[in-house]
Amino acid sequence: STTLTAHLGSRKHQKVVARDDSSSSDMKRSDSERKVAMAECVIRLYVQILGTKIRETRANVQRRQALTEEERDQEIDDEEVVFVEDKDDQQIYNPLNLPLGWDGKPIPYWLYKLHGLGVKFSCEICGNSVYRGRKAYEKHFQEARHSTNMRRLGIPNTRQFHGVATIDEAQALWERVQVDKKREVTNVDTVEEYEDSEGNVFNKKTYFDLKRQGLI
């Protein structure tokens, strides 16, 4: 017993105990760091998966903050009307004819309002097709269907015609574009100067007309 007591109190034994305590502390710290890293990984994954929903929710909050109290109350009443299902849970009551989401159910009313889907735009060039919301309407000008219909009218679907939805307006703009191009060519012919062998100066058009006639 005396020998054991002496051993436990020896410097050598104390060093071993200290080393073991340090090792145990390192293991606990390492385990804690792993848990923190795992939690951060899970959070980043949720942010990635729910990123679109988070952005839409933030935009909706900002939009609602700009509403008057009366407008907010009206919106709440509208939402209560839209999302009602019948007893057999088979058909969804959709009196406002809201677009359906990925789950086959009407999209939230606030999302419908956020994207302006209640506003309809038509395009005569595309056979009077109707687009719900400004975003879908603007996008269609660069799509194949609109470009094809523009070519059928003999008009290139360039940036100048973005936003032009009627045939008359597109044709009128195309005529103005062609006139402007001809005017630019005419300006070059009259502004650019040429000099003949005798030092006489002519504008480009006059110079080449005289040269074709053999007069200079």
Summarize pLDDT for 156-172 with one digit per residue, the tens.
999 889 989 999 999 99
Collapsed DSSP state (helix, strand, coil) of residue 120: strand
- Predicted pLDDT of residue 145: 92
Rounded to an integer, what distance in angstroms lies between the CA atom of residue 87 and that of residue 171? 55
Query: Per the structure block, which two tokens stand in for 129?
Result: 């097709």
∠ CA(62), CA(65), CA(71), 5° rounding?
125
Contacts of 31 (CB under 8 A, 6+ apart): none
Rounded to an integer, what distance in angstroms lies between the CA atom of residue 72 and that of residue 65? 9
**Model confidence at 88: pLDDT above 60:** no
Burial class from Cβ neighbours inside 10 Å (0-12, 13-18, 19+) for residue 202 reads middle
The secondary element (H helix, E strand) that includes residue 130 is strand 129-132
- Predicted pLDDT of residue 82: 45
Q: What are phi and psi of 130, to 5 degrees?
A: -110, 135
Q: Give 54 or 16, the one with higher predicted confidence.
A: 54
* pLDDT band with cut points at 50, 70 and 90 for residue 3: low
Q: pLDDT digits over 7-45, tens only?
A: 556 777 666 666 666 555 556 667 778 888 888 888 888
DSSP secondary structure string, 156-216?
Answer: ---GGGTT--SHHHHHHHHHHHHHHHHHHHHHHHHHSEEE-TTS-EEEHHHHHHHHHTT--
